[in-house]
A and B are shown apart, each in its own frame.
Chain A
Amino acid sequence: MILRTEHLTKHFGGLTAVNEVNLRVEEGQIHSVIGPNGAGKTTLFNMLTGEIPVSDGEIYFHEKKITGFQPHQIARARIGRSFQQTTLFTNLTVLENVRLAEHAHYSGHFSVMRHFLSFTRPVEKAWQVLEELDITDIATKKAGELPHGQQRTLEVALALAADPVLLLLDEPTSGMSPEDSVKMIRLLRKLGNRLTMVVIEHNMNLVMSISAVITVLHQGMVIASGNPSEIEKDEAVRKAYLGGHAK
């Protein structure tokens, strides 16, 4: 098991956004987390990535406790993440975006008198990431000037830098056109061959077509977990999506 949470809980004042979630992510699988708006998906995600502290419970990565890790420590543990709202270095070029993400995993952050290009490994590795995602043609463009679809791809590229073993993707297709979504699904499937992924998604097509396991959150709690066909048939899931108290 690559990622495991035990009774993971988050309170915001009186509101319990995430309630005793036990997530089990197996190595090599694409594991999706779905749920209606306000189900606590992003809160869960932000706890996994260290953005917000947990109220209760534990997180284990490779059976090592990572509860309370800061975001940079999560990244150093080789867990890559993307953001739901595109979060790039907009004034820097695509290659420089990825190079920065690569360099985080090499030494020399505080070597102030060497030129950054004398560290050649991060540059080479960044280029490889662009090649894998097939975006070398936009390497010289500024991230902020890209169309939305390409920004989302760069978002994944940043998460992919420095060989993560676990990739956490927050709505990779959010705001994408149907054509771009198809491309993204193809990309995620390809990445799924070599890494473990946890994906938060609204896009049901994507979820059903790429996931090995789906966990459904509703009002902060796990109401179902299983493979796509099980989830499709699940009565509690249908109710949650149809609006709580539907018959």
Chain B
Amino acid sequence: MIEAALGKKRPLTDREIWIMAGLILLLPFVLPYKSLAAEILIYALGAVSFNILLGFTGMLSFGHGALFGTGAYMTGLLLIHLGWHPLVTLLCSCFIGAATALVIGFFSIRQVGIYFVMLTLAFNQLAFFIVYQWKGLTGGDDGLLYVPRPDLLIFPGVEIPIHTNLQFFFFVWVVFVLCIAVIRRILDSPFGRILMAVKENPDRARAIGYKIQHFKLAAFVISGFFTGLAGGLYALFMKMVPITAVELFTSTDFIIMSLLGGLGSLYGPIIGAVVVKVASEILSEIWARWLFALGLTFIVFVLFMRGGIWGLLSMAVEKFKAGSGSEERQ
């Protein structure tokens, strides 16, 4: 009974995680270009991190472009100027993402609803203009060029190359699967459960004894940590940082991916990232106004399919289960 009401205690990795890992491992082999697979995973990580806020805490942030962007510039700048180990620069991207989230979150969570949304949006614009103006450091409009992608030195003499698209994909895949396992554990922790309570009913969460501002801020920082990491990976992937990384469009990309894929689930945004990125690659070649189709799809999903693609899939699975169940009974 208790298990039915609360769910099973899941280990850090289980069949679910490995199935997901296996499925995305197929990506470079079914997609038209190998490079697209790594890009999808990077955006998927950003979207999943974004969804920690929207899907699991109930906060719609338009500021995730700023988190992604600072992460990207951090890794880019450290690799160009200091030549640090990529894993170290990625860790720095995590922390700059978390720190940026702390600042944006600190001011934004004081507000709720539309005011919260507008504040995060304003912070994103602020970040964009700082990057745009600070040409000496960031390259401004041209972006940060010539970011190297050195091999990964594991210990002296042993280096893992991440030079080709496929090698780099495997590297991103390892980081991605690790992050998803950790994020799933965070959502399964007492902390994650409290986030869901905050999303469901902030007033009641307060009334039963939780200081919800602390939880909202912590969620923001955790989300920023992983979004920063995604940004760092993006710099390595592109071998440069385009200024679009820090633009509002990056924020909206995450929102669209999460909504299309499904907010209620950890895996929804991953599906959303695959669909949006693949569609943009394929459709943009045959139709210059493909964004129109994306917008239309988006509207249909928001109006009629709130559960997103993940919701549709789980509904289909349930129907199938129910159907086969009734056949057995007959």
Residues on A facing B (Cβ under 8 Å)? 49, 70-72, 74-76, 81, 83, 87-96, 99-101, 103-105, 108-119, 123, 127, 136, 139-140, 158, 161-162
Contact = CB atoms under 8 A, between A and B. Distances in A.
A92 B200 contact: yes
A162 B210 CA distance: 13
A71 to B, nearest CB: 4
A89 B2 contact: no
Contact of A96 (B6, B201, B204, B218): B6
B142 to A, nearest CB: 39
Contacts of B218: 110
Given A88-B201, A88-B204, A111 B6 contact: no
Contacts, number: 116
18 contacts: A49-B207, A70-B206, A71-B207, A72-B207, A72-B209, A89-B200, A100-B197, A103-B190, A109-B194, A111-B190, A112-B186, A112-B222, A114-B189, A115-B10, A115-B189, A136-B1, A140-B5, A162-B208
Nearest to B8: A117
B82 interface: no
B197 A113 contact: no
Closest 3 CB pairs of A and B: A104-B209, A75-B209, A95-B5
B4 interface: yes
A115 B9 contact: yes
B1 A116 contact: no
Nearest to A87: B204
Contact of A90 (B200, B203, B222): B200
B185 interface: yes
In which size bucket is the chain B interface?
35 or more
Contacts of A70: 206, 211
A107 to B, nearest CB: 9
B289 to A, nearest CB: 38
B189 A91 contact: no
A136 to B, nearest CB: 7
B319 interface: no
A175 B188 CA distance: 36
Quick one: which of A88, A89, A108, A111 has the most chain B CB within 10 A?
Answer: A89
A118 B189 CA distance: 9
Nearest to B189: A112
A163 B260 CA distance: 43
A95 B218 CA distance: 25
Contacts of B321: none
Interface string B210-235: 11100100100010000000000000
B163 interface: no
B6 A75 contact: no
B193 A116 contact: yes
Contact of B189 (A90, A94, A113): A113
A15 to B, nearest CB: 23
A158 B208 contact: yes
Contacts of A88: 201, 204
A66 to B, nearest CB: 14
A89 B209 CA distance: 14
A112 to B, nearest CB: 5
Nearest to A103: B190
Interface string B310-322: 0000000000000
Contact of B192 (A92, A112, A123): A112
Contact of A109 (B7, B191, B201): B191
Contacts of B193: 96, 100, 103, 116
A71 B9 CA distance: 31
Given A75-B207, A139-B1, A158-B208, 12 more contacts: A75-B206, A75-B209, A88-B201, A89-B196, A91-B200, A95-B6, A101-B209, A109-B191, A109-B215, A112-B192, A114-B189, A139-B5
Given A90-B200, A95-B5, A115-B10, A72 B210 contact: yes
A162 B190 contact: no
Interface in B26-83: none
Nearest to A144: B200
B231 to A, nearest CB: 21
